Copies of this chain bind each other. A is one copy, B any other.
Amino acid sequence: MHETDWITRYIAPLVTADGAAGLRDDVALLRTIGPTLATMDTLIECVHFLPDDPLDTIGQKLLRVNVSDIHAKGAEPLEALLSIAWPVDRDERAFELLMTGIGKDLQAFGISLIGGDLVQINGPLALTLTLTGRCIAKGPVRRDGGAPGDTLLINGEIGWGGLGLAAAKAGQDPETAARYRVPAISPIGAAKTVAELAASSLDVSDGLLIDAMRLADASGCGADIRLDHVPLAAPSDQVGAILKQCTSGDDYRILISARTDQPIPGFVAIGTLTETRGLALTLAGAGVNTPSTLGFEHKG
């Protein structure tokens, strides 16, 4: 790897913001118009993506997991700092492909790359992105703004992450695998809805049930989830198939609570926040036992 050459060839062309000084300095000047958020996510080969995943899709996924966090808080993504720890045995063509994917999604989401670091690693590819965002309202919509009686709503289908991972591992059904590799994330319109109408909000990254529990816990509530109202990647009336999709994660949909009975465009009501703590699941009015694993719990 020739760090300076690669930065000049593949990274610098993606840099447009004045504050980045063309990457020819050690720091960037941030755009800070109003309340500014920051989030940071790391993706590691063999942990967050498969060694065979095409590098452009890995670059897009890195952008999307971070954009999803910003959108879910009712904010618009602004600027990114990118760290790449590049395996010593990978070649320049592979690096170019990674940067193609990153460049594509920087443009798709209107994000300026303003800085970062490029280093070698004698091990798996490790990518870290820090992404800033501008709040559409006065501040971020947090997890803890919910209250008993709030309606719980989700803005897209749940289960594609898990189905796509299975397809990618099996080397089958490239269209479904693509939904794991480059997850569809909520558009900026959803972020505006969050800013205007949500009392609490988060993005469903680890599984619908575990993230619903986290939102409820943060808000000091419990949650009733009507499983038959959850829009599923693979619609089913079988409890096992439904729960599998509701706990598989990597979906990057936005779960909100709202203090309204009116329909919210783009969102579907799937339950209610309750006084009683914990999770209560129903399917067509009948109680369903809560599974022991609610999602990906970050335990190794």
Indicate whether A270 reaches chain B with its CB closer than 8 angstroms. Answer: no
- Measured CA separation A28–B75 after assembly (Å): 12
Q: Are B133 and A130 in contact (CB under 8 A)?
A: no
Stretch among A31-39, A171-179, A260-268 lining the B interface: A31-39
Indicate whether A124 reaches chain B with its CB closer than 8 angstroms. Answer: yes
**1-59 of chain A: CB within 8 A of chain B:** 1-4, 21, 24-30, 32, 35-44, 46-48
> With A38-B114, A88-B300, A124-B121 in contact, is A24–B81 under 8 Å at CB?
no
> With A2-B299, A4-B297 in contact, is A115–B27 under 8 Å at CB?
no
Q: Are A85 and B115 in contact (CB under 8 A)?
A: no
Indicate whether A197 reaches chain B with its CB closer than 8 angstroms. Answer: no
Residue in B40, B48, B75, B139 whose beta carbon sits within 8 Å of that of A130 in the complex: B40
Best-buried of A40, A72, A218, A299 by chain B (most CB within 10 Å):
A40
Size category of the binding interface on chain A: 35 or more
Expressed in whole angstroms, the minimum distance between the Cβ of A52 and any Cβ of chain B is 16
Q: Are A119 and B26 in contact (CB under 8 A)?
A: no
Indicate whether A203 reaches chain B with its CB closer than 8 angstroms. Answer: yes
Indicate whether A117 reaches chain B with its CB closer than 8 angstroms. Answer: yes
Q: Are A26 and B121 in contact (CB under 8 A)?
A: no
Closest residue of B by beta carbon distance from A33: B32
Indicate whether A244 reaches chain B with its CB closer than 8 angstroms. Answer: no
Residue in B72, B120, B300 whose beta carbon sits within 8 Å of that of A300 in the complex: B120
- Measured CA separation A35–B18 after assembly (Å): 13
Residues in B with CB closer than 8 Å to A278 are: none
Stretch among A140-148, A153-161, A230-238, A284-292 lining the B interface: A140-148
Expressed in whole angstroms, the minimum distance between the Cβ of A22 and any Cβ of chain B is 10
Query: Could you show 30 A-B contacts with beta carbons less than 8 Å apart?
Result: A3-B299, A4-B297, A4-B298, A25-B73, A25-B142, A25-B144, A26-B39, A26-B69, A27-B39, A28-B37, A29-B36, A30-B30, A30-B32, A30-B132, A38-B130, A38-B132, A40-B115, A40-B130, A41-B117, A42-B119, A42-B128, A43-B119, A44-B85, A44-B120, A44-B121, A46-B122, A117-B128, A121-B124, A122-B123, A123-B126
